[in-house]
A and B are shown apart, each in its own frame.
Chain A
Amino acid sequence: MTRPITILVAALGGEGGGVLADWLIEAALHEGFPTQKTSIPGVSQRTGATTYYVEIYPEKDARPPVMALVPSPGSIDLMAASELVEAGRAMQNAFITPERTTLVASTHRIFATSEKMVPSDGRYDAQKILEAAPKVAQKAVLFDMSRMAQEAGTVINAVLFGAMAGSGALPLSRAACEAAIRGAGKGAEASLRGFAAGFEHAVSTLPGDRADHASPPLPPGERAGVRGNEQDTLTPTLSLPGRGSESDRIRREFPEPLHALLEQGVARLADYQDVAYADLYLDRMRGVLAVDREAGGEAGGWKLTQEAARLLALWMSYEDTIRVADLKTRASRFARVRKEAAAKDGQIVVVTDYLKPSANEIADILPPAWAARLRRNAGAGRAVKLRTSDVSGFLAMRLMAAMKPLRRRSARFIEEQALIERWLGAIKRLGFAVLDAELSLEIVLCAKLVRGYGETWRKSHAAFVKILDTLVENEQAVARGADALRVAIRKAREAALAYEEAKPSAATAKGKPVIWMKQG
């Protein structure tokens, strides 16, 4: 006996999920099928996760059956998700079952606040959802509908609708679906383009065995939910004079797996200061490599050296006002801003930089003696709003950037180099003494703490020094043995990275969804 086709659409507020549900209803009526739709719009208007539930009874002009107002786990024929984590949520709630559910979902990510507010990287591992999809669903159609919508110049709901129709799980003809879109009027043409694109893509992935729709791995751009990452500003500097000899050094003195990374580091530092500075970087890396070698790091693919190479390069190119001014006055930067602003040719883009250099940040670039005096009576920063796209503003910035040669004599440069040596010293000393690559790695990773600006920098920088004082360079702490020390350092580092606000609230800590998330 015919039973209603059940369709659950999971979307985020403002993605046009309601419009999509209306299209479904219109298309069903166009086919002469009894249909019903429910939703909880209260939430959807406010960027939260929401769902739209539609039932279609695929019998022409049939006497209306009893259709449910709420989706029931294990009884969904078509699960559509406009974003990857929403597909994961549907899995969690058993709205996707191998017996009958076709899953149609976009693979792009829109990050939840709880993911975004975590310092460094709090993103949910969405790859897991991609891998689970073909296992829990009868059929899975997964692709980046957000990108496709942008390419078609429309909203994601149109592409999603097309993919749903193309998946074969809808009892609706393509004509009926397109008629529904036309009937809605506003923006119909763009929507139809998106629908067609989604439809054809879905058809192309079906029919076929599971392998056909096995989850594709997320390319880096997609993992971040943003595509078209800008050209990296470091590229021009790769042609700096002297780079050749640095490359030779890298080849001579370091094992092959490290070359690419060290090249990056050298390029960055030669650009940041000069070739001699890049040489210093390599000298420092040799020391770390020695420790790694002693501890048999080759087996582990030189993990210790890899991490150190990355973090040391970042640390040695710490962001002082000179660096910031330099980065903000590059041609590639202006090009990027135009792109971000989606400015067309013929339009002029005015860029105003919001700066608030505190007395400390000014002191950083002064010689130690002056710096000390300024820091003693350091007040709050003075707000500067600089029109970098104007000649005057640009020149002011450029002037600051031009102080690069003086940096070597600046207070912060001297302090940072001292701290770097202290850190490297500890890595070597403990590294050779204990020959515990894991322990050395923990110390290396502490360099994550020396980053950021103003208050953030001050806090984590202090935390870093404290770890050196109380653990790494502390007799008793070291005496307690490598294992205890390793754990202690990791704990201290993670505590320093976790901000008060980033501590999850009781509800989320238990992974317990809040009430309006129960079904969504």
Chain B
Amino acid sequence: MERSFKAEVAKLRLGAGQTFTGEGILAVTKALLQSGVSYVGGYQGAPVSHLMDVLADARELLDELGVHFEACGNEAGAAAMLGASINYPLRGAATWKSVVGTNVASDALSNLSSAGVVGGALIVIGEDYGEGASIIQERSHSFAQKSQIWLLDPRPNLPSIVRFVEKGFELSEASNTPVMLELRIRACHVHGSFETKDNVAPRHSRRNPIQKPVFSLERIPLPPANYTQEKHKIDVRLPEALKFIQREQLNEFFPGDLRQIGIILQGGMYNTTIRALQQFGLADPYGESRIPLYVLNVTYPLVPEEITRFCSGKRAVLVVEEGQPAHIEEAINSILRRADINDPHVIGKDVLPMAGEYTGEVVLNGLAAFLGLTLPDGVDLKAVEAVRASVEQAKTRAAELLGAPVPTRPPGFCIGCPERPVFTALKLIEKELGGIHISSDIGCHTFSTLQPFNLGNTVLGYGLSLAAASAMGPNFGKRIITVMGDGGFWHQGLTTGVANAVFRNDDGVLVIMQNGYTSATGTQNIPSSPDLSAKEGSPIAIESTLRGLGVKWLERVPNYQVADVADALRRAMTTEQKGLKVIIADGEWRTRFGIDDDVCTGDRACIRLSGCPSLTIKDSPDPLRSEPVTTINSGCVGCGLCGEAAHAAALCPSFHRIEVIQNPTGWDRFMHGIRQGVIGALSGVGAASTPRSQPRNDRGVDAAPTREAR
């Protein structure tokens, strides 16, 4: 685990009347325990990783309560886990990154929602949409709709989020339907506080196990049950849900004096919308809005009665719905039409963009356009336009002053990342063998597609890179190189990829990045992690797993030996042997390199083979050189890649390895003295400072003053 969550775990123990202060996703975690869950599962991924991390560190508390926690193999596993609530009154929760996680989970989700649940089933999805998202941009709403899973999108403040975790379980049980709680990235990471309740030990758990199995053919997706299940969803569960939503007032109405217009918005969009209203002087700091608001904390199903009530008598309503298709806007239109209410003009995706994140600026412009269209009495449109225009002007001014747009700074491999050198070797092989088709996977290693490597032609999903190469192999002039992380390998690469490739005797090359954990999601354990906790059992070695599957050609190479990795790749690409060839890249070793700036001629070939943040440039100390030279800055952790790369590619003689003997022995010093004597004499002007024995209070090269208070 990357960090310890002791402090967070302590917060999970807070009782009635106390105040929890912290992240949104941790508030959810606490709310789960307050709701008496029997089990929690999921698959890590930003922005919900911390829910998993904290519970993994909270074993003791979970044991006291009898709550079963499980880090599942993938999202499908986590969704299937909810099957425990189909026949039994067990409250359970699963969490993952959406929409990708929901995609993986969809088979189990469809079966779960069709069968229905008796115990509350809550799915906490981190909607990875917009700024900071590292996945394809789709909305999970469509999933909820097609499977009749109720979708909660609460206002993004802690008390509201916590309330909807608790209400989510009640809604699920009241309507025998699984419920999704959608939290956007910033809502997961929003820092706030709420008043806690005591944790509730689940009715049934390891402490009080269920004794009698329940068999009910109605829960099995076979004819005729599968048909009746679909009808049951619509005829029974949906009406029950609508009743509950209204009775508990899950959606909120906020009055305003500008009655002829109104805004219908997703709960998650509330704060951004209020901010826009505040900028136009149409709302006060406490959110008292002059325009009436109807806040959908439940975005599916919609409650026709509430919508008709809010819209009647209005000239126009603005629908603030992030993402596409415009499910909510379309539903509102049809609801009003069916109710034969035709006066309000429903405005949404015509003033707000159909696709893309609804940032502060987007909502500001959309709201301005809405007001411009509807011209409500009592609103100073000039003032509104002035505010909107000032933002435009600021941008234009900056563009003029800056001349060129500033360089982008996408995420990349961390300093010292063991994955980077593998791509350096791949780059060398690519140059040597000519163009190579590379099938990439999900993980930090996807950054290889960015500068400076630009390696990787397709990304099809987590653990799917080898499967994605299966049709390329026979149709491409050279062998395909597939890259997969150990995280993706266990997520589904093992079965979908390797087993099938061996079974079909595919003739490809698979490079497995083995760093022992899922690094992109925050270093969680996987079956092959070396340091598994007692609960997790003993590690499963990828190497023996592959041999067990019948992989004949298998090599393990140390990442940082760039030349060796390149050799292994060359062998794999050129060997006569057919069948899948697997290279496992792992291992770390550390040495620090330096660059002689009077030898460097600044062609940057070394940087184009590395992209390490610590391998950078500085003005040349040589007055005759107008161009900067390459240098290694103080952030260097001494992974040794830059020197190895320059060496493997025979770039230039500027690199040298530096080892500091921290605490030399007497003999070391004696020999050093002799060397210094000779070197000093022959290198003329004042030899390198001869060391005198000193109190050894230093921390050596790697403890550069940086990263002390991190």
Partners in one complex: yes
Q: How far, in Å, is B416 (CB) from chain A's closest CB?
A: 11
Interface flags, A218-233, vs B, CB<8A=1, else 0? 0011011110011111
Residues of A within 8 A of B679 (CB): 329, 331, 334, 389, 391, 394
Beyond A42-B134, A501-B452, A519-B131, is A48–B617 a contact (Cβ under 8 Å)?
Answer: no
B693 close to A (CB within 8 Å): yes
Beyond A348-B660, A381-B650, A518-B359, is A42–B132 a contact (Cβ under 8 Å)?
Answer: yes
Task: Give complex CA distance A351, B682 in Å.
Answer: 17
Instruction: Please tell me if the beta carbons of A74 and B656 are within 8 angstroms of each other in the complex.
Output: no
Beyond A89-B406, A114-B408, is A394–B618 a contact (Cβ under 8 Å)?
Answer: no
B684 close to A (CB within 8 Å): yes
Q: How far, in Å, is A133 (CB) from chain B's closest CB?
A: 9
A499 close to B (CB within 8 Å): yes
Q: Which of B275, B276, B395 has the most CB of A within 10 A?
A: B275
Instruction: Please tell me if the beta carbons of B604 and A119 are within 8 angstroms of each other in the complex.
Output: yes
Residues of B within 8 A of A86 (CB): 409
CB-contact partner of A113 in B404, B412, B631, under 8 A = B412
Instruction: Please tell me if the beta carbons of B285 and A265 are within 8 angstroms of each other in the complex.
Output: no
Interface flags, A110-132, vs B, CB<8A=1, else 0? 11111111111101110011011
Instruction: Please tell me if the beta carbons of B651 and A91 are within 8 angstroms of each other in the complex.
Output: no
A221's closest neighbor in chain B, by CB?
A: B619
Instruction: Please tell me if the beta carbons of A327 and B596 are within 8 angstroms of each other in the complex.
Output: yes
A169 close to B (CB within 8 Å): no
A515 close to B (CB within 8 Å): yes
B704 close to A (CB within 8 Å): yes
Say which one of B29-37, B258-266, B302-310, B620-628 lies at the interface with A: B620-628
Q: How far, in Å, is B145 (CB) from chain A's closest CB?
A: 25
CB-contact partner of B454 in A94, A220, A501, under 8 A = A501
A313's closest neighbor in chain B, by CB?
A: B624
Instruction: Please tell me if the beta carbons of A97 and B390 are within 8 angstroms of each other in the complex.
Output: yes
Instruction: Please tell me if the beta carbons of A354 and B647 are within 8 angstroms of each other in the complex.
Output: yes
Residues of B within 8 A of A157 (CB): 709
Instruction: Please tell me if the beta carbons of B596 and A451 are within 8 angstroms of each other in the complex.
Output: no
B394 close to A (CB within 8 Å): yes
Residues of A within 8 A of B409 (CB): 12, 48-49, 85-86, 112, 517, 520
Residues of B within 8 A of A67 (CB): 271
A260's closest neighbor in chain B, by CB?
A: B623
A65 close to B (CB within 8 Å): yes
Beyond A48-B409, A310-B626, A516-B410, is A229–B619 a contact (Cβ under 8 Å)?
Answer: yes
Q: How far, in Å, is B367 (CB) from chain A's closest CB?
A: 11
CB-contact partner of A40 in B132, B286, B401, B688, under 8 A = B132
CB-contact partner of A92 in B359, B406, B414, under 8 A = B406
Residues of A within 8 A of B406 (CB): 85, 88-89, 92, 124, 129
Instruction: Please tell me if the beta carbons of B403 and A125 are within 8 angstroms of each other in the complex.
Output: yes
Residues of A within 8 A of B605 (CB): 452, 456, 499
Residues of B within 8 A of A231 (CB): 621
A73 close to B (CB within 8 Å): yes
B668 close to A (CB within 8 Å): yes
Beyond A74-B391, A338-B689, is A16–B653 a contact (Cβ under 8 Å)?
Answer: no
A376 close to B (CB within 8 Å): no
Instruction: Please tell me if the beta carbons of B624 and A153 are within 8 angstroms of each other in the complex.
Output: no
Q: Which of B390, B611, B618, B705 has the most CB of A within 10 A?
A: B618
CB-contact partner of B404 in A46, A341, A511, A516, under 8 A = A511
B427's closest neighbor in chain A, by CB?
A: A501
Instruction: Please tell me if the beta carbons of B405 and A92 are within 8 angstroms of each other in the complex.
Output: yes
Within B23-67, the residues touching A (CB, 8 Å) are 46-47
A355 close to B (CB within 8 Å): yes
B698 close to A (CB within 8 Å): yes
B601 close to A (CB within 8 Å): yes
A216 close to B (CB within 8 Å): no
Interface flags, B691-705, vs A, CB<8A=1, else 0? 111101010110011
B146 close to A (CB within 8 Å): no
CB-contact partner of B360 in A41, A73, A225, under 8 A = A73
Say which one of A184-192, A422-430, A473-481 lies at the interface with B: A184-192
Interface flags, B406-432, vs A, CB<8A=1, else 0? 111111111100000000000000000
B186 close to A (CB within 8 Å): yes
Task: Give complex CA distance A338, B691 in Å.
Answer: 11
Beyond A233-B598, A518-B359, is A132–B284 a contact (Cβ under 8 Å)?
Answer: no
B576 close to A (CB within 8 Å): no
Residues of A within 8 A of B408 (CB): 49, 112, 114, 507-508, 513-514, 517
A495 close to B (CB within 8 Å): no
A352 close to B (CB within 8 Å): yes
Instruction: Please tell me if the beta carbons of A69 and B156 are within 8 angstroms of each other in the complex.
Output: yes
Instruction: Please tell me if the beta carbons of A354 and B286 are within 8 angstroms of each other in the complex.
Output: no
Instruction: Please tell me if the beta carbons of B616 and A116 are within 8 angstroms of each other in the complex.
Output: yes
Q: How far, in Å, is B21 (CB) from chain A's closest CB?
A: 8
B246 close to A (CB within 8 Å): no
Q: How far, in Å, is A444 (CB) from chain B's closest CB?
A: 13
Within A83-103, the residues touching B (CB, 8 Å) are 85-86, 88-89, 91-94, 96-97, 99
Task: Give complex CA distance A508, B414 in Å.
Answer: 22
B578 close to A (CB within 8 Å): no
B678's closest neighbor in chain A, by CB?
A: A391
Instruction: Please tell me if the beta carbons of A354 and B655 are within 8 angstroms of each other in the complex.
Output: yes
B582 close to A (CB within 8 Å): no
Q: A75-B275, A226-B616, A345-B692 are in contact. List 17 more A-B contacts (CB 8 A).
A: A40-B132, A48-B409, A74-B391, A88-B402, A96-B394, A113-B452, A128-B402, A187-B710, A236-B684, A331-B686, A338-B688, A345-B691, A354-B657, A381-B650, A452-B601, A452-B603, A519-B131
* 8 A–B pairs (Cβ distance < 8 Å), ordered by A: A14-B707, A66-B275, A116-B604, A230-B621, A233-B598, A347-B698, A453-B652, A508-B408
Q: Which residues of B approach A to under 8 Å, CB–CB?
A: 21, 46-47, 130-134, 156, 185-187, 189-192, 270-272, 274-276, 278-279, 283-287, 357, 359-361, 364, 387, 390-392, 394-395, 397-399, 401-415, 444, 447, 450-452, 454, 522, 592, 594, 596-599, 601-605, 607-608, 611, 613, 615-619, 621-628, 631-635, 643, 646-647, 650-653, 655-664, 668-669, 672, 674-675, 678-680, 682-689, 691-694, 696, 698, 700-701, 704-710
6 closest A-B pairs (Cβ-Cβ)?
A40-B132, A72-B360, A334-B688, A48-B411, A187-B709, A226-B618
